[in-house]
Amino acid sequence: MERPEKANEVQKDKFWTWRVNREENLMMKEFDYTQERDANQIRLMHSVEKAREVAAKIRKRPADKSTSTD
């Protein structure tokens, strides 16, 4: 049987290993979240740009008389 001090050291090592792994996991999740958030923000900016381009094209197009309601 192990000495109590040795068992205690092993317990501490296991705890710190778990703690470090947990911290690394949380950091990776946060990193993944920020990457996804940034990608979504870029996609949104591209969508807004595209919408502005389409709106500009629509404004330049001559008005279609058949769709106007009087």
Residues 10-55: tens digit of each pLDDT: 888 898 899 999 999 999 999 999 999 999 999 999 999 999 999 9
**Domain assignment present for 31:** yes
- Residue 3 covered by a domain: no
**pLDDT reading at 70 higher than 50:** no
Answer whether residue 39 is part of any domain. yes
Residue 33 covered by a domain: yes
Q: How far is CA 54 from the centre of its chain?
A: 28
- Domain assignment present for 12: no
By C-alpha distance, which of 18, 37, 17, 40 is closest to 29? Answer: 37
Q: Virtual CA dihedral for 7, 8, 13, 19, nearest 10 degrees?
A: 130
Lowest mean pLDDT among 7-11, 43-47, 63-67: 63-67
| More confidently predicted of 16 and 66 | 16
In a domain, 20, yes or no: no
41 is a domain residue: yes
pTM: 0.48
Number of domains the chain contains? 1
**Quick one: how many helices (H) and strands (E) in the chain?**
1, 0
Q: Which of 6, 2, 25, 3 is nearest to 14 (CA)?
A: 6
